Amino acid sequence: MGLESMFTSSYINRLGAALKSKLRQWGLPRFAQVSLLNISENATFLAHDSETDRRLILRVHRPDYHTREEILSELAWIEALRQSNVIHTPAPVPTKSGETLITMHDGKSQRYVVAFEFMQGEEPNVGEHLADWFNKLGAITAQLHAHSKKWQRPPEFIRKTWNTDTMIGPQGYWGDWRSATNLDALGEAIISKAAHVIESRLSIYGQGAERYGLVHADLRLANLLVDENRMGIIDFDDCGFCWFAYDFAAAISFHELDPSIELLQKQWLAGYRSVASFSAEEEAEIPTFILLRRILLTAWLSTHSETDTGQELGPSYTAGTVELAEIYLERFGDKTITKEAGSDLTGDKSCPILDLNAFSFEQSKVDDQALKPMIQRRYKTQGPTAMLFYHQPLHIVKGEGVWLFDKKGNKYLDVYNNVPSLGHCHPNVVAAITSQVTQLNVHSRYLHETVHVYAEKLLATMPNNINRLVMTCTGSESNDLALRLARTKTQKMGVIVSESAYHGNTQMVTEVSPASYKTQQPPDYVISVAVTEAARQGDNAGSYFLQQVSAAIKTLDDRGYGCAALLVDSIFSSDGIYSHPKGFLSKAVKCVRDSGGLFIADEVQPGFARTGDSMWGFGRHNIRPDIVTLGKPMGNGYPVSGVATSEDLLATLCDEYGYFNTFGGSTVAAAAALAVFDTIVEENLMQHARDVGAYFKHALIELQRQHLSIAQVRGAGLYIGLEISEEGDIARPDAAKTTQLLNLLRRDHVLIGAGGKFGNVLKVRPPLCFSKSNADLFVHKLDKVL
């Protein structure tokens, strides 16, 4: 049966008659009145038994759309919401034999029917109070999202997935917008261009659990049921998996061009944020969701011109869609499309470090077809933590020195990796690991010569107070232990870190890693200080940093936590690489010590000679840590890390707790670490990093003269940051261009990453064997793509 004929009165009468024959299943008499309430997709009827005054809402589903399982899943969510007591929504009413869904034949096809209790109330009569109602709508939407995020869905739960394919693709659930009434070739081209921008932006925006999940997907004022003392939500028929922020676009459905949207959005967001967080990145994408919804509705209207809405809006709706697409393109169209494009990055819209440069599984447009199944398998087995780099992910199979090779034998210059710090597959490390693994590879509780030799050599490079080494397996674990040491010693809780710091992935370390937070903030015993702003003060960076640290200590004291430690990576890798002036941390470190706190130097990034000036980042700044944490480059790729500290600090912890680490400093780990350490010395890599680094930095500064978008070149040794900004204006960070550059470089077989609070710093951090000619090659390639 064609859709159009579903809207004729004779058809509706037939449906009503068919329903009457089913009423007894719900204990209603056959003669109860059945009247149509609404028809758009489904037909919704009110059944009323005037003798008992019992009422029931009966929803007849449209044919060939939702499956039985999908409808039962919707009802399951409704039940869960009702039980949570947060949201009022009418209960599904089972038949006498306990069925919540029955089938009914309407003369032509099978239809699913579900019944709901009748709930008093009406669509809100907004009058002059539209903005207030949007505030309420925002708050109730946030409650619904909060429930959806924590609800354990039953295993058989299945609902439709709303994404760009299913919404605005040619096979979209609601039809193809290209068939919209009154759409001419120019209009089609404009919408098509905008649709590409939407796809591109949303593929980068991603479908992380905080941004994408089970939503109502039609949460408009028309779907609120209000009476004097209660506000309920109805019509979960569209509920499915979609972006949370899309629910705002649903809220303003059919009014997308209304000038009051700005105010309504403000109110909706205020309401939402009174209940739950709604990130700046989500807010920045609202125009994308509005246009996405508009195009979807345009597709829907093309097949529903006979509905009330279709009649009301008429063919001019299509013209409006074209207009909205044009407005959207003006704003977002000519920029390279990245997650950050369009957002005001000069505000507080920092980007989570782990999202930078990430490939999105869900929305992938992978050129190399051979990689697709592999990517799928990775996604299916490892889920969203299995992050891949670049818009076109790489399948690397071999490494040698500064080169990486993919499956097809393509060769890439590695300007990214500091883990294989001596160079990929350095023969000394390969030999040490191989020799040890063929003899003994066991846990750490037997005597083993190498680990002692290693500890002695390593500790000899540290200040005198640092005389104990605990071997661990990852940088995160090292920082976790460092925090325990500091808190046990000081009996204080507070920690001061830099504003976009990343220190690892355990629960405790995530709390001191502001860069890991996507929607929330670190707890209030963690205070972050603005190193970017400090570094911009030039020679006064030290005083500025000091001011912030001393204010943070006071706040932590006022809050009753006290300051246990200042924890910093002294090259400020994830903040955007702030290396100068040398020594700018010393005043702040002294201030923390004077207050009874400790200084933890996270050497995972600057350590092991990379900065060229010292074996350690803290050495460059001439400061003495109480605890040093080590990782990444320590084993040239073999997982080995450590915590170096004083005898006294370690004893304090071990008096209270036992500490044991199965793999930390095991035989093979120790062999790898020793080989790395010896090779740094033998190959004089510190000097090499200083010389090549200086040459490289100079060449990049020369390049900066030719390209306005490089606002700054910073760094020490082989750790260099290029700040990419609009027209060289440091106040206008250009994350879009940064993402574009690193993807273009990848296409040109040069691998590099990005960092920084705003995601606009190209991170130049190659293996230490990088040569001057490698530097020339990089500068040449960067010049080409700039």
At its nearest, how many Å lie between ligand PMP and the CB of residue 635?
10
Q: Indicate the residue among 336 and 506 with the shorter CB distance to ligand PMP.
A: 506
Residue 510 sits in the site that holds ligand PMP (CB under 6 A): no
> How many Cα atoms within 13 Å fall on the side-chain side of residue 306?
11
At its nearest, how many Å lie between ligand PMP and the CB of residue 673?
14
Q: Considering only residues 668-707, where is the footprint of ligand PMP by CB under 6 A?
A: none
Task: Kindly indicate which of the ranges 129-137, 422-430, 471-479, 674-682 contains the residues binding ligand PMP, using the contact rule CB under 6 A.
Answer: 471-479
Print the binding letters for residues 530-569 with ligand PMP: x by CB under 6 A, - otherwise. Answer: ---------------------------------------x
Whether 359 and 395 have beta carbons less than 8 Å apart is answered as no
Q: Which residue in 242, 260, 288 sits closest to 133, CA to CA?
A: 260
Measured from the Cβ of residue 83, the count of other Cβ atoms closer than 10 Å reads: 8
User: Any idea what the Cα angle at residue 177 is, between residues 175 and 178, rounded to 5°?
Assistant: 115
Written as six digits, the tokens of 223 are 């779907």
Residue 608 sits in the site that holds ligand PMP (CB under 6 A): no
Whether 747 and 725 have beta carbons less than 8 Å apart is answered as no
Q: Is the dihedral of CA 242, 245, 251, 252 positive or negative?
A: negative
Among 172, 475, 542, 625, binds ligand PMP (CB under 6 A): 475
Q: Indicate the residue among 94 and 384 with the shorter CB distance to ligand PMP.
A: 384
Task: Kindly indicate which of the ranges 96-104, 601-609, 696-704, 736-744 contains the residues binding ligand PMP, using the contact rule CB under 6 A.
Answer: 601-609
Whether 611 and 579 have beta carbons less than 8 Å apart is answered as yes
Q: Indicate the residue among 310 and 607 with the shorter CB distance to ligand PMP.
A: 607
Task: Kindly indicate which of the ranges 233-241, 439-447, 500-508, 749-757 contains the residues binding ligand PMP, using the contact rule CB under 6 A.
Answer: 500-508
At its nearest, how many Å lie between ligand PMP and the CB of residue 479?
6
User: Any idea what the Cα angle at residue 204 is, between residues 203 and 206, rounded to 5°?
Assistant: 70
Residue 605 sits in the site that holds ligand PMP (CB under 6 A): yes
Q: Indicate the residue among 472 and 740 with the shorter CB distance to ligand PMP.
A: 472
User: Any idea what the Cα angle at residue 176 is, between residues 174 and 180, rounded to 5°?
Assistant: 105
Task: Kindly indicate which of the ranges 156-164, 397-405, 473-481, 734-742 contains the residues binding ligand PMP, using the contact rule CB under 6 A.
Answer: 473-481
Written as six digits, the tokens of 254 are 């059919």
Q: What are the angstrom distances between the C-alpha of 84 and each of 87, 151, 283?
A: 7, 10, 28
Rg (CA), the chain: 31
Q: Indicate the residue among 503 and 697 with the shorter CB distance to ligand PMP.
A: 503
Is the link from the previous residue into 581 a cis peptide, with omega within 30 of 0?
Answer: yes
Task: Kindly indicate which of the ranges 192-200, 497-505, 702-710, 725-733 contains the residues binding ligand PMP, using the contact rule CB under 6 A.
Answer: 497-505
Whether 203 and 360 have beta carbons less than 8 Å apart is answered as yes
Q: Considering only residues 100-159, where is the footprint of ligand PMP by CB under 6 A?
A: none
- Residue with smallest beta-carbon separation from ligand PMP: 475
Residue type, 353: I
Distance, in Å, from the CA atom of 46 to the CA atom of 702, rounded to the nearest integer, reads 76
Written as six digits, the tokens of 244 are 């949370």
Q: Is the dihedral of CA 322, 326, 332, 335 positive or negative?
A: positive
Distance, in Å, from the CA atom of 170 to the CA atom of 179, rounded to the nearest integer, reads 10
Q: Which residue in 645, 354, 386 sits closest to 505, CA to CA?
A: 354
At its nearest, how many Å lie between ligand PMP and the CB of residue 607?
9
Residue 247 sits in the site that holds ligand PMP (CB under 6 A): no
Task: Kindly indicate which of the ranges 126-134, 136-144, 499-507, 616-624 contains the residues binding ligand PMP, using the contact rule CB under 6 A.
Answer: 499-507
Q: Indicate the residue among 162 and 572 with the shorter CB distance to ligand PMP.
A: 572
Print the binding letters for residues 431-470 with ligand PMP: x by CB under 6 A, - otherwise. Answer: ----------------------------------------
Question: For tokens 């039953």, what's the residue?
Answer: 154
Q: Indicate the residue among 562 and 631 with the shorter CB distance to ligand PMP.
A: 631
Distance, in Å, from the CA atom of 242 to the CA atom of 236, rounded to the nearest integer, reads 14
Task: Kindly indicate which of the ranges 235-243, 579-587, 589-597, 600-608 contains the residues binding ligand PMP, using the contact rule CB under 6 A.
Answer: 600-608
Whether 403 and 424 have beta carbons less than 8 Å apart is answered as yes
Distance, in Å, from the CA atom of 470 to the CA atom of 451, rounded to the nearest integer, reads 10
At its nearest, how many Å lie between ligand PMP and the CB of residue 356?
12
Q: Indicate the residue among 483 and 668 with the shorter CB distance to ligand PMP.
A: 483
At its nearest, how many Å lie between ligand PMP and the CB of residue 140?
40
Question: For tokens 């209207």, what's the residue?
Answer: 301
Distance, in Å, from the CA atom of 634 to the CA atom of 311, rounded to the nearest integer, reads 70
Task: Kindly indicate which of the ranges 78-86, 306-314, 389-397, 498-506 contains the residues binding ligand PMP, using the contact rule CB under 6 A.
Answer: 498-506
Written as six digits, the tokens of 20 are 């009457």
Question: For tokens 């040794």, what's the residue?
Answer: 717
Among 141, 476, 740, 743, binds ligand PMP (CB under 6 A): 476
Q: Indicate the residue among 138 and 514 with the shorter CB distance to ligand PMP.
A: 514
Distance, in Å, from the CA atom of 585 to the CA atom of 582, rounded to the nearest integer, reads 8
Residue 631 sits in the site that holds ligand PMP (CB under 6 A): yes
Phi, psi dihedral angles at 401 (to 5 degrees): 60, -120
Q: Indicate the residue among 285 and 569 with the shorter CB distance to ligand PMP.
A: 569
Among 503, 688, 737, 757, binds ligand PMP (CB under 6 A): 503
Count interface residues toward ligand PMP (CB under 6 A): 15
Among 238, 355, 602, 613, binds ligand PMP (CB under 6 A): 602
DSSP string, 419-472: SSTT-BT-HHHHHHHHHHHHH----S-S--HHHHHHHHHHHTTS-TT--EEEEE
Print the binding letters for residues 12-51 with ligand PMP: x by CB under 6 A, - otherwise. Answer: ----------------------------------------
Residue 499 sits in the site that holds ligand PMP (CB under 6 A): no
> Rounded to 10 degrees, what is the CA torsion of 186, 187, 188, 194?
110
At its nearest, how many Å lie between ligand PMP and the CB of residue 629?
7
Q: Is the dihedral of CA 350, 352, 357, 358 positive or negative?
A: negative
At its nearest, how many Å lie between ligand PMP and the CB of residue 721?
14
Distance, in Å, from the CA atom of 711 to the CA atom of 729, rounded to the nearest integer, reads 6
Q: Which residue in 1, 750, 16, 22 sits closest to 390, CA to CA?
A: 750
At its nearest, how many Å lie between ligand PMP and the CB of residue 451?
19
Print the binding letters for residues 357-396 with ligand PMP: x by CB under 6 A, - otherwise. Answer: ----------------------------------------
At its nearest, how many Å lie between ligand PMP and the CB of residue 487?
18
Q: Do the strands 761-764 and 753-755 form a parallel or antiparallel pair, or are they unpaired?
A: antiparallel
Q: Indicate the residue among 479 and 760 with the shorter CB distance to ligand PMP.
A: 479
Q: Indicate the residue among 564 and 567 with the shorter CB distance to ligand PMP.
A: 567
Residue 355 sits in the site that holds ligand PMP (CB under 6 A): no
Among 77, 502, 525, 545, binds ligand PMP (CB under 6 A): 502
Residue type, 307: T
Residue 645 sits in the site that holds ligand PMP (CB under 6 A): no
Enumerate binding residues for ligand PMP (CB under 6 A). 474-476, 479, 502-505, 569, 573, 602, 604-605, 631-632
